[in-house]
Amino acid sequence: MEEVEIPQYFLCPISLMIMKDPVTTVTGITYDRESIEMWLLTAEEEAEAEAEAVTCPVTKQKLPRDTELLTPNHMLRRLIQAWCIANASKGIDRIPTPKYPLDKSHMLRLVRQVNNHQICVEALRKIDALVIENEKNKKCLEEVGVIKAMISFIVKSFKERKLITSLEQALRIFHLVWSPTTKNEQLVKENHDLIEAILWILRSEMMNNNQVIIKTHAMMVLKNVIEVSSSNLLSGLQPEFFQEMVSILRKESKYHISQQATKVALQVLIDTCPWGRNKHKIVESGAIFELIELELCNTEKRVSELIFCILAHLCTCADGRAEFLKHAAGIGVVTKNTLRVSSTTDDCAIQILGSISKFSATKEVLIEMLRIGAVSKLCMVIQADCEDYLKKKAMEILRTHSYAWSNSPCVQIYLLT
């Protein structure tokens, strides 16, 4: 491409690229819209954290945070477009006429149309397109109440048992727009109907090819909700809730349907585990068997970390340890992945082995630990580059059961040193 000298005033002061949609701030400086909006968004978050005003990148004067105060510089845009066309033969791409953002009143009208059953499908389609288009649309839609409208639509579909394709758009809009603001949290923290609606979607059979996509979106929404739910809602979750999470794990270990949904299911189990009798409900749902089966065929680090975290939680209760030991590969899979995946899995693995050796150390269990290499792995932990508390925990396990493992030469060496 022939080298072309670009007029300086065509370049955005922030990105130093040719401006596609030049806008002028109240300080009189012109920027590309995308660059200055990103600057305002980032600077706003930093300013709020440090209690400072947002400033203009060039003049350092105070700058209003409202992006609606940015004035399109039509004359400069036309000059840039004309210059690009004139230099097209030299490899300069034409700058298309920008699509100006919709105002709040238009978005509010779209959100209200979701409640009208005659035009809700078209309204959801338009909102979905706006959400995907840019971050400003997401923020504006959140401000006009799109989260509340999506919750209302999802719950209404559940109560009327109408499994329509627009549910996919409603779930995607919710997840993409969602932010844990106080207003949004109030809408979901005690919303049992929304939880029931999501479970209904997960249990339903769709008569199309979008089944996996819809259920994955439903899981993403569930994760958003669970993260901010009240202790009252979390401790009151029914056994059916955990059975559905375990069902997702089972399908992934057998059919490898959606790893994204699997990760969310694992995270949801971690978030709900500490509340009420949830540990027992999770164990009774058959989670431990499915977690071990999933780990046996898993190759991703993050999934292993989540699985080990849940197993460590569940092995703190007697029925959890009993179910863990029932699986022939339970101790084996923990032993195999210790010192192989990450420091997170090492931490959880030592917790699991510690719980087993302290509360469930029958003669058979201790022999099994020695036979499959768990004892040798504990010795390796002591000499590996691990945290000191992990080494101390490993040594504590070895010393506690030294009588049972006295025939192992490696154990004797570490007890002596």
Give phi and psi for 411, each to the nearest 5: -65, -45
Reported as a pLDDT band with limits 50, 70 and 90, residue 1 is very low
Q: What number of other Cβ atoms are within 10 A of residue 373's Cβ? A: 16
The CA distance from 118 to 219, in Å, is 28
Report whether pLDDT(412) > 70: no
Reported as a pLDDT band with limits 50, 70 and 90, residue 40 is confident
- CATH architecture for the domain at 241-416: Alpha Horseshoe (1.25)
**Is the separation of the CB atoms in 187 and 151 below 8 Å?**
yes
Q: What DSSP string describes 60-105?
A: --B--S-GGGPEE-HHHHHHHHHHHHHTGGGTPPP-PPPPPPPPHH
Tokens representing 285? 């749902």
What is the pTM for the complete model shown?
Answer: 0.77
**Is the separation of the CB atoms in 248 and 202 below 8 Å?**
yes
Q: List CB contacts of 388: < 8 A, sequence separation 6 or more.
A: none
| Residue 286: closest CA among 333, 327, 238 | 327
Report whether pLDDT(103) > 80: no
Tokens representing 158? 């559940």
| In the chain, domain spans | 8-90, 101-229, 241-416
For 8-90, CATH gives: 3.30.40.10
For 101-229, CATH gives: 1.25.10.10
- pLDDT tens digit sequence for 230-278: 999 999 999 999 999 999 999 877 777 788 999 999 999 999 999 999 9
Q: List CB contacts of 106: < 8 A, sequence separation 6 or more.
A: none
Q: How far apart are the first and last CA of the chain?
A: 71
Q: If DSSP codes are grouped into helix, strand and coil, which group holds residue 243?
A: helix
Q: Do domains 8-90 and 101-229 have the same CATH topology?
A: no
The CA distance from 171 to 173, in Å, is 5
pLDDT above 70 covers a percentage of the chain that reads 93
Beta bridge partners, 62, equal 55
Tell me the mean pLDDT in the region 267-291. Answer: 96
Q: How many residues does the chain have?
A: 417
- pLDDT tens digit sequence for 183-231: 999 999 999 999 999 999 999 876 455 778 899 999 999 999 999 999 9
Tokens representing 239? 């056994």
Reported as a pLDDT band with limits 50, 70 and 90, residue 89 is confident
